[in-house]
Chains A and B, each alone.
Chain A
Amino acid sequence: MIEVREVIQDVNGRQVLKGVSFTFQKDRMYGIIGPNGVGKSTLLHLLSGVDRPKQGEVLLSGRPLTSYPRKMIAKQMAVLQQNGLPPVGFTVREVVSMGRYPYQNWLGSEDEDSVKLVEESLVAMGLKELELRTMDQLSGGERQRVALAKLMAQGPAILLLDEPTTYLDIGFQSQLMDTVRAWQRKSGLTVIAVLHDLNLAALYCDELVVLHQGKIEAAGTPQQVLTTSLIEQVYETKTTVISHPITGVPQMMLQPNFKG
């Protein structure tokens, strides 16, 4: 579906990605994990087409991403950012409708029935009652739901998530991930999520991609990837891995390491 080939990328003069190749398949949910500053978000920016790699290329359905017009990319791919949407004066419905931008001509009209799609997105995210509120009247968690509804209205085949749960409490975190996972299953999306929380990644992703020192250190199912030795090698910390009592996926437990 979407593929990176030998990409090399600098950030502020430092080489962050040193030749990364990977193919993301359709109808799978991927988690990109790794320590701070390893280039997880940098990789996501390359995948989204907003930044271009210094070397190597990104292929969407076998064609270089750079050969697509901007709006065509936006129809295929939607991005949920870490910092969410700002508290602006637009209403929830107006913001969700903005997801239709790539489908509109310069007059703002489009062929498909956008009102219905926007309506469905609002209902799916439980925002129907809030639709006439303005964004500056909502909480951070609610704004993140609006952001997700906007992506739904955008109707993508690929969903990129950049640490979507960073500023949310655990209630909103699992709610958001549940919604994304349900949507992914229903529509057969490719989801690529940069995640900080290894346990959350193991709970929701089909496959994990571990970045370490500018390269892919390991990739595979959570069971294959999340081992005590790999975690110690990449994060330089000791952990105990246990199996989740209900789902059976691996979960990480930290071990304190101090004397006194």
Chain B
Amino acid sequence: MLLLAVSIVVSLTIGSSGISVRDVWGILLHQLPLFSKEAGSYSAGEIAIVTQVRLSRVLLAVLVGACLALAGTGFQGVLRNPLADPYTLGVASGSSVGAAFIILFGLQAAMGMWTIPIVAFATGMATLLGVFWLANHKGVIHMETLILSGVILQSFLGAFVSFMVSMSDGIVNQILFWLMGSLAMRGWDHVYMLIPFLLIGLPLLLAYGRPLNLFVLGERHAAHLGIHVEQTKLIVLIGSTLLTAAAVSVSGVIGFVGLVVPHLIRLLVGPDYRLITPLSAIGGGIFVLWADTVARIALTPKEIPLGVVTALIGAPFFAYLLHRRKKGQGGAL
């Protein structure tokens, strides 16, 4: 928590227009009703940069990270597969098809700034339904079949996206950049859009902490202890998918967060989902925030796609932790 707060402030301060730490704090404090009486000695431009541009972006990074890491925790808990992540069931590919389609045909303005998020969200959810439909066998959904169905639909839709990318000579970059994920040019509206999903998803996954712990022992063990196995799987999967679809629709496909953050937390605190779930949300927030900070300042004035940064930072760090763990005691993930 503390680390998150510090990260937010530091990240707020770093930026291409060079406003000092003191000024950032001053501007923020002046926004609070208690301090607003004091005359502000800051220019309107500085205030706008801090409150409109940076604060919203920083919060959005935290929320997107939290959504993705939470979803990853849910997917890994239910699928009990270390390679599971928020995109395993093809939600991201579904969203990508929708977004690529909109960009390719230049329909961004159809519903204002919300066109891409809404379409991406809808196609993502439709993909999930398709995956469930493929995996459903007489009312029972086997996890292996579910994962396979996800993989199949993912590659099928991935082909569509590649096709659209190849068809659009002039705007290739735009689709590709969306696919690689970015938080640039977003605003408070995007923050507000994510909050309800997080408000539902976080308590839901927290409430399922103990059942997920029992899932670690195996589905039959969980059933013998009085858990509705099928119902639990469905609720956690749908909750996680909603979080994923919401995050993807505002930020594009940011890889690695949902896969690695829950693993990192698990390596640090052990297998208890009552700890993993909340800490993953916080850890995901911190991770994406730093990745986004690097993405926007490393090569100013150019921005690096966020998905590139998360993978570049995340993979080596994860490898290091795995290596250390292997030397330490050789436990399984």
A134 and B224 contact, CB distance less than 8 A:
no
In whole Å, how far is A85's beta carbon from the nearest beta carbon of chain B?
Answer: 6
- List which A94-137 residues lie within 8 A (CB) of chain B: 94-95, 98-99, 101-102, 104, 106, 108, 134, 136
B272 and A94 contact, CB distance less than 8 A:
yes
- CA–CA, A99 to B224, complex, Å? 10
B214 and A98 contact, CB distance less than 8 A:
yes
How many residues of chain B are within 8 Å of chain A by beta carbon? 22
Nearest residue in A to B213 (C-beta to C-beta)? A98
Interface residues of A (CB under 8 A from B): 48, 50, 70-75, 77-79, 81, 85-90, 94-95, 98-99, 101-102, 104, 106, 108, 134, 136, 154
In whole Å, how far is B89's beta carbon from the nearest beta carbon of chain A?
Answer: 24
- CA–CA, A86 to B216, complex, Å? 8
In whole Å, how far is B301's beta carbon from the nearest beta carbon of chain A?
Answer: 46
Q: Mark B199-240, 1 if CB is under 8 A from A, else 0.
A: 000000001001001101110110111111000000000000
In whole Å, how far is B206's beta carbon from the nearest beta carbon of chain A?
Answer: 10
- CA–CA, A85 to B217, complex, Å? 6
- CA–CA, A157 to B272, complex, Å? 29
A86 and B218 contact, CB distance less than 8 A:
yes
B226 and A73 contact, CB distance less than 8 A:
yes
Given B223, B270, B332, which contacts A87 in the complex, CB threshold below 8 Å? B332
Nearest residue in A to B222 (C-beta to C-beta)? A101
- CA–CA, A73 to B214, complex, Å? 17
B170 sits at the interface (CB 8 A): no
Nearest 9 CB-CB pairs, A to B?
A74-B226, A71-B226, A89-B271, A102-B226, A79-B224, A70-B226, A101-B225, A50-B223, A88-B216
- CA–CA, A136 to B220, complex, Å? 19
A89 and B331 contact, CB distance less than 8 A:
yes
- CA–CA, A120 to B128, complex, Å? 47
Q: Inside 8 A of B274's CB, which chain A residues have their CB?
A: 108
Given A89, A98, A99, A102, which contacts B270 in the complex, CB threshold below 8 Å? A89
A90 and B271 contact, CB distance less than 8 A:
yes
User: Given A86-B217, A90-B272, A108–B210 Cβ distance below 8 Å?
Assistant: yes
User: Given A86-B218, A90-B213, A90-B272, A101–B226 Cβ distance below 8 Å?
Assistant: yes
27 contacts between A and B (CB under 8 A): A50-B223, A70-B223, A70-B226, A70-B227, A71-B226, A75-B226, A77-B224, A78-B224, A81-B218, A85-B218, A85-B221, A87-B332, A88-B217, A88-B271, A89-B270, A90-B213, A90-B270, A98-B217, A99-B225, A101-B214, A101-B227, A102-B225, A102-B226, A104-B210, A134-B331, A136-B332, A154-B225
Q: Inside 8 A of A70's CB, which chain B residues have their CB?
A: 223, 226-228
In whole Å, how far is A152's beta carbon from the nearest beta carbon of chain B?
Answer: 13
Given A71, A81, A87, A94, which contacts B221 in the complex, CB threshold below 8 Å? A81
- CA–CA, A37 to B272, complex, Å? 38
Q: Inside 8 A of A86's CB, which chain B residues have their CB?
A: 216-218
Q: Inside 8 A of A88's CB, which chain B residues have their CB?
A: 216-217, 271
Q: Inside 8 A of A108's CB, which chain B residues have their CB?
A: 210, 274
Q: Inside 8 A of B220's CB, which chain A residues have their CB?
A: 50, 79, 81
Q: Inside 8 A of B217's CB, which chain A residues have their CB?
A: 85-86, 88, 95, 98
- CA–CA, A106 to B216, complex, Å? 18
- CA–CA, A50 to B229, complex, Å? 10
Q: Inside 8 A of A90's CB, which chain B residues have their CB?
A: 213, 216, 270-272
Q: Inside 8 A of B210's CB, which chain A residues have their CB?
A: 101, 104, 108
Q: Inside 8 A of B226's CB, which chain A residues have their CB?
A: 70-75, 101-102
- CA–CA, A81 to B220, complex, Å? 9
In whole Å, how far is A135's beta carbon from the nearest beta carbon of chain B?
Answer: 9
Further 4 A-B residue pairs, CB within 8 A, beyond A85-B218, A101-B226, A136-B331: A81-B220, A90-B216, A99-B225, A101-B210
Q: Mark B143-176, 1 if CB is under 8 A from A, else 0.
A: 0000000000000000000000000000000000
Given A74, A101, A106, which contacts B207 in the complex, CB threshold below 8 Å? A106
Q: Inside 8 A of B271's CB, which chain A residues have their CB?
A: 88-90
Q: Inside 8 A of B272's CB, which chain A residues have their CB?
A: 90, 94
Nearest residue in A to B207 (C-beta to C-beta)? A106
Given B207, B223, B225, B228, which contacts A98 in the complex, CB threshold below 8 Å? B225
Nearest residue in A to B228 (C-beta to C-beta)? A70
- List which B92-146 residues lie within 8 A (CB) of chain A: none
Q: Inside 8 A of B332's CB, which chain A residues have their CB?
A: 87, 89, 136
In whole Å, how far is A63's beta carbon from the nearest beta carbon of chain B?
Answer: 17
Q: Inside 8 A of A79's CB, which chain B residues have their CB?
A: 220, 224
Nearest residue in A to B330 (C-beta to C-beta)? A136
In whole Å, how far is A47's beta carbon from the nearest beta carbon of chain B?
Answer: 11
Q: Inside 8 A of A75's CB, which chain B residues have their CB?
A: 226
- CA–CA, A29 to B63, complex, Å? 56
Nearest residue in B to A74 (C-beta to C-beta)? B226
Nearest residue in B to A91 (C-beta to C-beta)? B270
Q: Inside 8 A of A136's CB, which chain B residues have their CB?
A: 331-332
Q: Inside 8 A of A77's CB, which chain B residues have their CB?
A: 224
